[in-house]
Amino acid sequence: MNNILPEKLLEMFASLSRIRRVQLKIEELYHLDEMKTPVHLCLGQEAVSVGVCAHLKKEDHIFSNHRSHGHYLAKGGDLKALIAELHCKETGCSKGRGGSMHLIDTSVGHLGSSSIVGGGISHAVGAALGSRMLKKQGISVTFFGDAASEQGVFFESMSLAKLKNLPVIFICENNYYSVFSHISARQPNYDISMRAKAFDIPAQRVDGMSLLEVYEKAREAIDHARAGNGPYLLDCYVQRWRGHAGAGDPLKEQYRHPDDLDESKIRDPLKDFVSYLKNHNIADDDSLCEINKRIDREIEEAFDFARKSPLPDVKDLEKYLFS
């Protein structure tokens, strides 16, 4: 914890705060129906994206899922292109062809997110294999949720990654819910790290609500892979603050486990990290406020850009089917 440079800590604060503020702004404006695409906000889960991506370079590839915004932004994905994509504009990262669930930014190693649960896990294995064959250094990181760990392809992919000793980091954002379904209805035990250990893949359970813990554990995992020692899995406990999709969580009393309705148990990775920064004299309210102001301007510009951008030309309906 103590050997992280202040610049790095502030960088992570900015990344975390940015994701938070972008998600809140999307939630605030969603009812205007200008973003006509299903959004799956990562409020509460942001620390995992930030803590993991803090160790990644442009040449490393990430593979994301439907709850995509945090991964995209933490890896350095363009904010304007994200907001434009949510507005289904031609200037969106996927030119309006993908929507919120299919984000991409190849300039930062994000090769496309899949909305089929578990769909991107095997892609990460392939990108690592391809990179090795091309004699490139990059590692692969795949972000997925607890429900994805129920898919057969998750086990197949871990086995393949281990068999071929590939630098693949499996990051499970375990928020205990799959839409409305609690993990107890879906899995006989909740220790997802054990499933990796079945393939002799080192794995750890991580408190995904603590940015610093994610950062430390991700460092171990990523160093392990970069050293040529193969795959690693992090089973990160997180809290999904909202419902599965859209704004708010209007049905929460009807599906959440009683413990999860206890407001006092809700944790905030951003608030906790801010406390840490202040307690260790890395930053004060003023400096953090400055960063937040900059972020808010950036967000305003992004929404402005999106609103002013053109929609795709319908004449181009069939474009891009084949490359």
d(CA 121, CA 197): 17
CB nearer to another protein: pick between 165 and 292: 165
CB nearer to another protein: pick between 119 and 208: 119
d(CA 97, CA 295): 27
Binding of another protein by 152 (CB under 8 A): yes
Show the binding pattern over residues 182-221: x = contacts another protein (CB under 8 A), - = does not.
----------------------------------------
DSSP 101-157: TS--BGGGTB-----STTTTHHHHHHHHHHHHHTT----EEEEEETGGGGSHHHHHH
Q: Report the nearest approach of another protein to the CB of residue 112 (Å).
A: 5
Among 63, 199, 237, 241, binds another protein (CB under 8 A): 63
Per the listing, tokens 């992570």 go with 12
Show the binding pattern over residues 107-126: x = contacts another protein (CB under 8 A), - = does not.
----xx-x-x--x-xxxxxx
Binding of another protein by 136 (CB under 8 A): yes
Q: How many other CB atoms sit within 10 Å of the CB of residue 29? A: 15
Binding of another protein by 77 (CB under 8 A): no
- No. of helices (H) and no. of strands (E), the chain: 11, 7
155 token code pair: 């086990």
Binding of another protein by 37 (CB under 8 A): no
Contacts of 316 (CB under 8 A, 6+ apart): none
Binding of another protein by 160 (CB under 8 A): yes
Binding of another protein by 230 (CB under 8 A): no
DSSP 234-263: EEEE----S-SSSSS-TTHHHHS-GGGG-G
Binding of another protein by 5 (CB under 8 A): no
Among 21, 97, 186, 226, binds another protein (CB under 8 A): 97
CB nearer to another protein: pick between 90 and 268: 90
